[in-house]
Amino acid sequence: MLRKGLLLILAILILQGCNDMSTEEKEKIVKEATESAVQYFKEQKGWDVVINEHEFTTRTNGTEIFLFGYQKGNKDNRIHAMVNFSEDKYEVSLIGYDEE
């Protein structure tokens, strides 16, 4: 019984991810990650992009955020980026887009 309780507590802690961050911390991360992703798309693809959604992940101990949006002037070209924000370094580690 104690073992099941400990496993349940451990699972809850793992699933919480970034829930222990303050609203201000989350807003800062979203802002910095968005700036990094926008710059990355500009430099790598020559596109101006709009980021309109985000989702924190617990995949790497809560140090990654997924950003979603579209290419300016082409809302059909949906884009996404994964940004690692560990150690206050906002590095785009993955991008994707719908353009054919």
Coil, strand or helix: which one is 40? helix
Residue 34's domain comprises 2-97
Residue stretches of the chain with pLDDT short of 70 = 1-19, 60, 100
pLDDT at 8: 45
Q: How many domains does the chain have?
A: 1
CATH of the domain at 51: 3.10.450.630
pLDDT at 19 (0 to 100): 54
Tokens of 30: 């979203």
Query: What is the predicted pLDDT for the residue at 21?
Result: 82
How high is the mean pLDDT of the chain?
84
Buried b (16+ CB within 10 A) or exposed e, 9-48: eeeeeeeebbeeeeeeeeeebbebbbebbbebbeeeeebe
Q: Give the 3-state secondary structure of residue 58.
A: coil
How high is the pLDDT of residue 100? 56
Give the model's pLDDT for residue 68. Answer: 97
Question: Any idea which residue has 């910095």 for tokens?
Answer: 32
pLDDT tens-place string over residues 38-60: 999 999 999 999 999 999 987 76
